[in-house]
Amino acid sequence: MSRPESIDRSRRAGFSLIELIMSVLVLAFGVVGLATTTLFITRELTMAEVTTVRVAATRSVMERLRATPYGSIGSGGDTIGPMVVSWMVTATTPQTTTLDIVTLGPGRLPASAGQASMMSNAVADTVTYKVLRP
């Protein structure tokens, strides 16, 4: 006895159209999530690199000031890579000289309410540095 054709079709192996659409949707959400994560990581790595350059420029000036004889320390400035670093004597006592070191260049702007921090080409950081008389 032969079976009707409709019963044979229902027993065939394979995916239904609904299953195929659902699997494509799950895959699409995964790809979008991966792309978003990649963009976030790339941005954070760029920010970390810029921050490293900023710190290195400031540290370079601090080491130069530390190596300068105490009586010769004065205001000045220098360009180190993309950063413009300037320093100004703000106070002098017989035992200490206080300087403000300003680093201007690319960097991260502070985050505002509800928004992520952003990159800018003109961010200024100020560090107060004291040099002790040897």
Query: What are 8's strand-pairing partners?
Result: none
Write the pLDDT tens digit of every residue in 66-100: 999 998 999 999 999 999 999 999 999 999 999 99
Do the Cβ atoms of 81 and 57 come closer than 8 Å? yes
Tokens 């079709």 identify what position?
9
Do the Cβ atoms of 61 and 76 come closer than 8 Å? no
> pTM (2 decimals)?
0.72
Query: What are 108's strand-pairing partners?
Result: 119
Write the pLDDT tens digit of every residue in 14-56: 778 898 999 999 999 999 999 999 999 998 899 899 999 999 9
Question: What is the spatial distance between Cα 107 and Cα 126, in angstroms, rounded to a whole number?
Answer: 13
Do the Cβ atoms of 120 and 50 come closer than 8 Å? no
